[in-house]
Amino acid sequence: MYSGIGCNQDKEINKTEWLTKEVPYGKKTTLKLSDGTQIKLNSGSMLYFPKVFKKDSSRIVFLEGEAFFDVVKDTTRPFIIHSSSITTTVMGTSFNIKAYQNEEDIVVSVVTGLVEVIDNVDKQSVYLNPKEQVVYNNAKKGLKKRSFESSEVSWKEGKLIFEGADLKEIIKQLERWYGVKFIVQNPRLLSKRGYTETFENASLKMIMETISFAGGFQFSITNNKVTIK
């Protein structure tokens, strides 16, 4: 399940009792780890973590997907998140990691505190302060540091924010958010950009009504299938 992220890289890891929390499309969940750290997992995400963190070793977890971490400070035990091609290390801070397997970019965004992100391939290291993020592209490799807007981590508050997005980007998020499948009868609609909307705890029907009006297309929702005409 976690091949490629280094689950067996350390003897200490193999001795630990591990748990898995998987969140299906259409759901989100919050969990509290043994050290008090709180994590909110987004749709389509999975966290692999120790049942109990040992007192004399680093706090290590593995992430696939997206999660917002609020890490309890412990200067003697770094908190380390392995997510595909990067490793994120903190002592105590709040930040977001987006690392879905089917997306090219892995993104780490810091809200509070100081975070170190390491490229596992060339061992490049970047330190991030609040309102800074780093992007790792799985195809081009390398870490790129930049600033970001708080809207990028608004999902944890039940908000969907699209800023100049195209329909393809929107569909990807809606499929995860609501656990539905989209069928687009006219593929040319996918590349149309400029959708800028904010939704908070909105129904799928309300979102589609708004987007279809802006995009000039019709849609139908049947069970867990959305057809764009």
pLDDT digits (tens, 9 = 90+) for 131-179: 999 999 888 888 999 998 877 889 999 999 998 889 999 999 999 999 9
Please say whether the beta carbons of 229 and 185 come within 8 A.
yes
Tokens 């929390």 locate to: 21
pLDDT number for residue 6: 47
Mean pLDDT over each residue of the chain, to the nearest integer: 90
95-to-56, 103, 156 alpha-carbon distances in Å: 24, 19, 11
Task: Specify the pTM.
Answer: 0.87
Average pLDDT over residues 18-47: 96
Domains, the chain, with CATH or none? 11-149 (2.60.120.1440), 158-228 (3.55.50.30)
The CA distance from 44 to 26, in Å, is 8
pLDDT for position 13: 57
Q: Is the pLDDT of residue 3 over 50?
A: no
Q: At what angle do helices 167-178 and 204-215 cross, to 10 degrees?
A: 170
Question: How many angstroms separate the Cα of 159 from the Cα of each of 68, 87, 132, 173?
Answer: 14, 27, 20, 12
SS3 14: helix
